[in-house]
Chain A
Amino acid sequence: MSQDTLFDKVWDLHKVSNLPGGSDQIFIGLHLIHEVTSPQAFGALKDKNLKVKFPNRTVATVDHIVPTDNQSRPFKDNLAEQMISTLEKNCLQHKIRFFNIGSGNQGIVHVVAPELGLTQPGMTIACGDSHTSTHGAFGSIAFGIGTSQVRDVLATQTIAMNKLKVRQIWCENQLSNGVYAKDLVLHIINKLGVKAGVGFAYEFAGPAINALSMEERMTICNMSIEGGARCGYINPDEKTYSYLKNKLCAPKNEHWNKALAWWKSLKSDENSIYDDVVKLDASKIEPTVTWGITPGQSVGINQQIPLLDDLSPNDKLVAEEAYEYMSFKPGQSIKNTPVEVCFIGSCTNGRISDLRVATEVLKGKKVSKNVKAFVVPGSEQVASEAKQEGLDKIFKDSGFQWREPGCSMCLAMNSDKLIGNQVSASSSNRNFKGRQGSPSGRTLLMSPAMVAAAAINGKVSDVREFIN
């Protein structure tokens, strides 16, 4: 059992009681809600005649269903309009702070909370969304919950949960040029598998992690869940503190000094005990692309799609399903696979640094005529910053469509969808069957820089040929 890790410390700090069944009752420091997983929770409160216990500990925004082309109200899609209105009504009734469209602070919940300074080290953070693990980049313990647990957090500010084990993933050396946080996390998931993290929190550590910016760290923690780990985190350091300084909701003045002193005391001890430790060499990783129907099915850009015999017996069943669904042949190169749609955005890679990296590749170049390419900034803040830097113009000049903030084609709950069996190069996080809105649509996950390279060539390409 782990001891003295950041996870142990934060968990113990938030433990309210041992429940009769043996689970722990854990206090949730920050609760984030959005329009998809909250309406039934508010409905359940009403049925049970309960109130929101601490309305100030919950913050709302709208992201999953928002259209990215025309956001004028009412939305064209009646169901989407009903969902945003329900959230507006619930927030108003229960006095919950809501960052709505046009507030300047709306966006994907996992982009918005960090950029507002709501996400801070040492907190427990829960949200009805599996990518809540993103917030672990700040040294918080953050995890996705379902709607019944959203109800419990609203009603009690606590949930019943069994403590997770802790696996440290030590990343030695540095990522090489043209290789990004997305490649690192895809590589980790490939090496460990999509279910290795079940029952674990992942602590990402080592020189390669320390070298990452806060936004890159968010990309890593964001995809912990794709490796099966409900929670992923990184010990906070100077980069964490300086990112938070002056953010809208971050502590100010004398509170800042108190916060800083406490945050600096928060990290895994040098002699802390982990349930498991895995080490890998980050310098060996290539730009990485998924070829299958789980985020673990990936290869380096210069590698071939694995043969069935190269896979472990447990991976063969899904591999066979993937070859068929993706129409790939075992042993085929991933490089030069034609793509029809290119998507840059999502809570994994829709932040300002992602847009900057993509425009470095796109500058002065044109998107292939066979490709529909679009970029969806992660938030209104990201969009506004990008415009100030002229990134929107670079995207538009290259042939990308510049859209309004939201989750968009990461999960295709709005009208941004693949059609038929189109192949997309996507900076999002899931390549599940049908994930991007068409039951036969095919998704290749990669870094935003690699999506930009694929958009220019109309096929999967090595971004290092563009930037060197």
Chain B
Amino acid sequence: MQSAFTPPSGKISQINGQCISLIGNDIDTDRIIPARFLKCVDFDSLGESVFEDDRKTLKGKHPFDLKENKKASILIVNSNFGCGSSREHAPQALMRWGIKAIIGESFADIFYSNCIAIGIPCFTLPKNSIQKIQKYEDNKFLFLEIDLKNSIAKSKDLNFNLEIKESSRKMFLSGEWDATSTLLANENLIENKLNDLPYLKFNNHLL
């Protein structure tokens, strides 16, 4: 666990930080945060339990336990990261541990939308670029500067063109990734839709 947690807010255009690599495909949200930690009515204490079972199995050798990774904030993963359960507890746990952005080969859909909704940009890179970063890290720390405006990541001697959904990129740059107020701004359109939907008319006993 890092120092006191402040959730992201407003515009997000630049993320600079040390990378932490987690190797493996299809790492599911049960592994990111096992179900027993979902017995809570807030997200506050999830950071310390991230990857709890994997960490116990590896007895201190899990990347999230290594001393040199304590200050890392950019998570590097392989393919289909975050598959399985829709639990937002998974990205919340990663965020509370200290992760601010994720770069991977690919992400599961619900995990991806959960990350966007809480202010963690997720970028994709081809497999060989991911492996290059993961290999690089075997030797020394890698610090990346992520520029969302131009979708690039660079370090002293590496440069990557990151991929991110255009709608997500725009939402981070404008600060509208926290969608509630943007959605509420269309209040009249929402009311109109409610009145137009055919099935709400024959299900009016519910309304």
Question: A190 to chain B: closest CB distance in Å?
Answer: 14
Q: Complex formed: what's the CA distance from A160 to B117 in Å?
A: 10
Residue-by-residue, is B76-92 near A (CB-CB < 8 Å gives 1, otherwise 0)? Answer: 00111001111111010
Q: Which of A79, A155, A160, A198 makes the CB contact (< 8 A) with B39?
A: A79
Question: B162 to chain A: closest CB distance in Å?
Answer: 17
Total count of chain B residues near the partner, CB < 8 A:
69
Q: Complex formed: what's the CA distance from A80 to B190 in Å?
A: 36
The yes or no answer to A37 lying at the interface (CB within 8 A) is yes
The answer to whether B30 touches A433 (Cβ under 8 A) is yes
Q: Complex formed: what's the CA distance from A159 to B179 in Å?
A: 8
The yes or no answer to B4 lying at the interface (CB within 8 A) is no
The answer to whether B180 touches A151 (Cβ under 8 A) is yes
The answer to whether A21 touches B106 (Cβ under 8 A) is no
The yes or no answer to A413 lying at the interface (CB within 8 A) is yes
Q: Complex formed: what's the CA distance from A413 to B167 in Å?
A: 36
The answer to whether B176 touches A29 (Cβ under 8 A) is no
Residues of chain A with a CB closer than 8 A to B84's CB: 130, 225-226, 430, 432
The yes or no answer to B156 lying at the interface (CB within 8 A) is no
Residues of chain B with a CB closer than 8 A to A160's CB: 179, 182-183
Q: Which residue of B lies closest to A322 (CB)?
A: B26
In the complex, which residues 42-96 of chain A have their Cβ closer than 8 Å to any Cβ of chain B?
A: 43, 48, 50, 53-54, 56-57, 64-65, 77, 79-80, 82-83, 86
Q: Which residue of A lies closest to B193 (CB)?
A: A27
Residues of chain A with a CB closer than 8 A to B30's CB: 411, 430, 432-435
Residue-by-residue, is B195-207 near A (CB-CB < 8 Å gives 1, otherwise 0)? Answer: 0011111111111
The answer to whether A146 touches B87 (Cβ under 8 A) is yes
Q: Which of B56, B79, B190 makes the CB contact (< 8 A) with A27?
A: B190
The answer to whether B182 touches A20 (Cβ under 8 A) is yes
The yes or no answer to B184 lying at the interface (CB within 8 A) is yes
Residue-by-residue, is B154-180 near A (CB-CB < 8 Å gives 1, otherwise 0)? Answer: 000000000001111011001010111
Q: Complex formed: what's the CA distance from A194 to B84 in Å?
A: 10
Q: Complex formed: what's the CA distance from A390 to B98 in Å?
A: 54
Q: Complex formed: what's the CA distance from A225 to B80 in Å?
A: 12
Q: Complex formed: what's the CA distance from A160 to B183 in Å?
A: 8
The yes or no answer to A158 lying at the interface (CB within 8 A) is yes
The answer to whether B189 touches A17 (Cβ under 8 A) is yes
The yes or no answer to B138 lying at the interface (CB within 8 A) is no
The yes or no answer to B137 lying at the interface (CB within 8 A) is no
The answer to whether B86 touches A129 (Cβ under 8 A) is yes
The answer to whether A148 touches B194 (Cβ under 8 A) is no
Q: Complex formed: what's the CA distance from A440 to B54 in Å?
A: 10
In the complex, which residues 13-53 of chain A have their Cβ closer than 8 Å to any Cβ of chain B?
A: 13-14, 16-17, 19-23, 25, 27, 29, 36-37, 39-40, 43, 48, 50, 53
The answer to whether B190 touches A56 (Cβ under 8 A) is no
Question: A116 to chain B: closest CB distance in Å?
Answer: 11
In the complex, which residues 114-128 of chain A have their Cβ closer than 8 Å to any Cβ of chain B?
A: 120, 122-123, 128
The answer to whether A314 touches B117 (Cβ under 8 A) is no
Residue in A82, A230, A413, A432 whose Cβ sees the most chain B Cβ within 10 Å: A432
Contact A432-B28, Cβ < 8 Å, known A56-B206, A156-B180:
yes
The yes or no answer to B15 lying at the interface (CB within 8 A) is no
The yes or no answer to B36 lying at the interface (CB within 8 A) is yes
Q: Which of B57, B168, B184 makes the CB contact (< 8 A) with A439?
A: B57
The yes or no answer to A228 lying at the interface (CB within 8 A) is yes
Surface stretch bound by A, among B40-48, B67-75, B145-153: B40-48
The yes or no answer to A275 lying at the interface (CB within 8 A) is no
Residues of chain B with a CB closer than 8 A to A162's CB: 165, 167
The yes or no answer to A251 lying at the interface (CB within 8 A) is yes
Residues of chain A with a CB closer than 8 A to B189's CB: 16-17, 25
Q: Which residue of B lies closest to A196 (CB)?
A: B80
A-B contacts, 15 of them at CB < 8 A, read: A19-B183, A20-B182, A21-B166, A21-B176, A36-B87, A37-B86, A56-B206, A57-B206, A80-B39, A86-B41, A128-B86, A195-B83, A294-B28, A318-B24, A430-B30
- Using CB atoms and an 8 Å cutoff, list the residues of chain A in contact with chain B: 13-14, 16-17, 19-23, 25, 27, 29, 36-37, 39-40, 43, 48, 50, 53-54, 56-57, 64-65, 77, 79-80, 82-83, 86, 120, 122-123, 128-130, 132, 143-149, 151-152, 155-162, 194-195, 198-199, 225-226, 228-230, 249, 251-252, 255-256, 258-259, 262, 293-294, 314, 317-318, 321, 411-413, 430, 432-435, 437, 439-440
Extra A-B contacts (13), CB below 8 Å, given A149-B117, A161-B113:
A25-B186, A123-B199, A145-B110, A148-B117, A149-B113, A156-B190, A158-B183, A228-B80, A262-B199, A294-B83, A321-B24, A430-B28, A435-B30
9 smallest beta-carbon distances between A and B, as pairs:
A146-B88, A146-B114, A148-B117, A144-B86, A439-B53, A22-B167, A39-B41, A21-B170, A195-B80
